[in-house]
Amino acid sequence: MPRRRPGRIRAGIPRHRTLEATPVIDGLSSRALSEIFRLERTRNYLQPGDVSAAMRLWKDYVHRPERQLWHDYEWGNVHWYCCGDPLEARALLDAVMQAMSPRNARELRRIVSRFDAVWNQPSPPYDPGEG
């Protein structure tokens, strides 16, 4: 029986996983995180780490003071070009939830809905007497 060349054998072996840090989203199971990990590597509109970055951007944005949110709504924010647009991040999260399996999408939707609840809170009434 002829001997197989070592290069041909090595070509069939999967590459070693690197020890790079994988982004974690608090509150998601390992099953949901692995599906997000797989989606980020198979979808052409995602790159590794995009979902956790979008989640972090949306979380940070909704917890900003209301006056800053209103200013961004009225005038825009020049830093969105370099640091990311939180509204586009929220749209990306919607797209990922559509691509996920129903069970894992439910987990992600539960976390995103917490931030959406902060975003949709009514503002306190304006009282000109306070000062």
pLDDT digits (tens, 9 = 90+) for 74-86: 556 655 667 788 8
Report whether 62 contacts 115 (CB < 8 A). Answer: yes
Spans of the chain below 70 pLDDT? 1-2, 4, 6, 8-10, 12-22, 66-81, 122-131
The model carries a pTM of 0.71
Domain ranges of the chain: 27-119
Q: So what's the pLDDT on residue 63?
A: 85
Report whether 48 contacts 41 (CB < 8 A). Answer: yes
